[in-house]
């Protein structure tokens, strides 16, 4: 049996990893997955320093899944507001279904 | 041209990786992608040992895509039943479209 | 506030990474994320050499997000046509919503 859920994916500079995961801990996210990668794009450039330059970056991809879609969106918005005004990154939301929803 | 498909994403402790991929081989999954990462959450704690403690984990993110959504769900359910009663982890399903569906 | 977007995920042999990302740069993709992993499956076998053998592969998972779904699909199709006739791999598309859409 599966239950509707919301996934949130955060693509950020790797230097922000501990700040973002600390915030996820504080907001009550029940878990998250962190994968390291690389990336490129003006959306990964610090806006104050170099507004439109395409650069390569060390990035982290942080992902979490929640049954409560509204809560997931609130957390995603808070991350966008707290981190991605000064630093760049992207956050996207998708619909999913989870199995073993009793774990959440 | 794209065709409707189902993606299954499995987040598990890394120690389960070979057991899960072996099972995917046996169930006829035509391929999968494995990425290593880290994670946190009570859903990643072994339920028998420490039921509600939030811990850091070495995890794997295993992903596969199938045209046959029912088959994908059956495999996902079997993994949940076989591995995620004693060990924790999450499995979620999303809808997607694939290109070059003749490959599947 | 979130805006509808399209994500494209490319699973390819790692040896194709620089060719694919160079093509993404040329097509005007505003950014992408690259994660290294491993994989298995006949869809990851070079079709000319060994048409149906299941093999293990070093892979890259390349992901990008675009507001313009038609453009995203065009790029995805071009990658499929240019790379995945001779080499194997999969490309799938999902619907998402992005926060801070002004970044795109």
**HEC states along B5-58?**
EEEEEEEEEHHHHHHHHHHHHHHCCCEEEEEEEEEEEHHHCCCCCCCCCCCEEE
Contact across the interface for B7 and C41, Cβ inside 8 Å: no
Residue of B nearest to C55 (CA): B31
Q: Which has the closest alpha carbon to B71: B9, B19, B29? A: B29
Subunits close to B (at least 3 CB pairs below 8 A): A, C
Please state the ipTM of this predicted complex: 0.87
In B, minimum Cα distance to A31 occurs at B41
> Which member of A54, A59, A77 has the closest CB to residue C33?
A59
Q: Is C36 helix (H, G, I), strand (E, B) or coil?
A: strand
**CB proximity C75 to B under 8 Å:** no
Whether A36 contacts A14, CB under 8 Å: yes
| C-alpha distance from residue B38 to each of A82, B12, C43, C67 (Å) | 23, 10, 27, 30
pLDDT in tens, C56-101: 678 999 999 999 999 999 999 999 999 887 777 899 999 999 997 6
Encoded tokens for B52: 């509600």
pLDDT above 50 (res A5) = yes
pLDDT at C66: 92
Torsion over CA: A22, A27, A30, A32 (sign)? negative
What six digits make up the tokens of A54? 């395409």
CB proximity B69 to A under 8 Å: no
pLDDT at B50 (0 to 100): 47
> Which of C40, C88, C92 is facing B96, going by the closest CB pair?
C92
Q: Å from B75 to nearest chain A CA?
A: 11
Q: What is the pLDDT of residues C31-57, one digit of tens each?
A: 899 999 998 865 434 444 544 445 567
Give residue-wise pLDDT tens across range B70-84.
999 999 999 999 988
Using a CB–CB cutoff of 8 Å, tell me whether C51 touches chain B. no
Which of A34, A41, A54, A82 to probe by mutation at the C interface, max C CB count within 10 Å? A41
CB of C59 within 8 Å of a chain B CB? The answer is: yes
Task: Please state the rounded mean pLDDT for residues B3-7.
Answer: 95
For residue A61, give the nearest of A22, A92, A87, A83 by alpha carbon: A92
Worst-scoring range by mean pLDDT, B10-14, B58-62, C39-43, C89-93? Answer: C39-43
pLDDT of amino acid B52: 47
Closest-CA residue to A91 (of A48, A46, A61, A53):
A61
Those residues with Cβ within 8 angstroms of residue B103's Cβ, 6 or more apart along the chain or in another chain: C43, C84, C88, C90
Cβ contacts of B59 on chain A, cutoff 8 Å? 33
Say what the pLDDT of residue B88 is. Answer: 76
Q: Do C93 and B94 touch (CB under 8 A)?
A: no
Largest CA distance in chain A: 49
Whole-number average pLDDT of chain B: 83
Could C36 and A41 be called an inter-chain contact, meaning their C-beta atoms sit closer than 8 Å?
no
pLDDT confidence band for A98 (50 / 70 / 90):
very high
Q: What is the pTM for the complete model shown?
A: 0.88
């Amino acid at each position: 049996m599966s239950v509707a859920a919301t996934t949130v994916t955060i693509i950020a500079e790797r230097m922000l990893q501990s700040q973002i995961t600390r915030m996820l801990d504080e907001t009550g996210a029940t878990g998250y997955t962190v994968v390291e990668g690389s990336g490129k794009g003006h959306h990964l450039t610090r806006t104050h320093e170099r507004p439109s330059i395409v650069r390569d970056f060390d990035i982290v991809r942080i992902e979490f899944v929640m049954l409560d879609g509204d809560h997931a969106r609130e957390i995603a918005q808070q991350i966008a507001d707290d981190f991605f005004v000064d630093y760049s990154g992207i956050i996207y939301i998708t619909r999913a279904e989870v199995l073993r929803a009793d774990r959440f």
